[in-house]
Structure 1
């Protein structure tokens, strides 16, 4: 069920008797619990409704890295470059287009052994990190396997989310649910106050930002060749919208 928060302001100029009766009914409401209230201001009912829609993700985002160590910085850099080239080729063979692979980090530095009174350089480490975006979420496990088998030494995160087009469609549905909830609450407030609800005077939405992605843990399944294969079972992604609507009082 979609969650909601309701804020209601009802003003009737000169209707003192109605204010006294309604105030007595509202005196037991818990402050901050979204209970209706009556204040001076406008002849309107103002409500806030929230709607949520859930859907299966249609995009996967992987963070992969090649890691190379050597006695010199140049040797570490060269090994990382070789592993990165092998990784990129493996991703192409797995059906991942080049524009879906983006470098998001690179580091090359010394590693130290810290003694009691000094530190000693023991080698160098190069790390090249990539973000891989997949439109086929079911391919995430096989892409991880191909990457690890071909140079990737680190998989820092795997998350599942929504494409922009899909998110906008779900947001429109969430707004519809939020509007339905707002209308339902406004009608309930009007009925409780023996008021006649009019049309919408104004409406606005609150941007909740991008939907929170689902981070999935890997499961291992046996492949056709007898080896273990990585499989992900992502959950559903939620898109939430909130509206504030002012209804006239007739």
Structure 2
């Protein structure tokens, strides 16, 4: 079969693998299946230790993006290891402090909001800036967002505005980089997924099951479906897509007036 995506022999950095359920892991695995070389970046030594079996014999670096200067150190280490130039980056990093449980949005703490912004949104800017000298001219950067910034789920809280900041930063990065290169930056707007990270959101399972009923096919997304779209954006086959959010939600965002949902809402006793 012809290599449609032309990824064989290319090198990609994937940030954010936590376990086998991670979006980042599915993307990395798919890249490797296409013949690409994948470099991994994880948050801590403890995380690297926990992934020893999964990432055995693969290049793994530690980068806690919450720490100032960490992105620059990562770029220097990757370059020193002779792993550049890179043909793409995957930014699949997010964090919100829900340790005190759900709080109304107007009670959001400054420290929590700023920490989540630094990790979940601004880290994309820092990573891009640090790796810009080490990226191939036609490299592709992909980050993982959410399928809609218009909805206001109660249990997602302040992460909604932060994901909006991530998406906006993507467009500004795309334009900025285009002044001197053909590096592209895009977002995968993923619908609800069954990951370890989402399990930490209060009340997520109910939201997940509700979202499933709103998809056209009445079946939620598989993480691999999101990974497949991300890998396409990483390839030069998507060269005409830049500064864009590619929504992958199985029709969820277009099905608010689904007949079955209306019936259940208006006549729940039947």
TM-score normalized with structure 1 length = 0.24
Which structure's relative contact order is higher, taking Cα pairs within 8 Å and 6+ residues apart? 1
More strand by percentage? 1
Q: Which has the larger radius of gyration?
A: 1
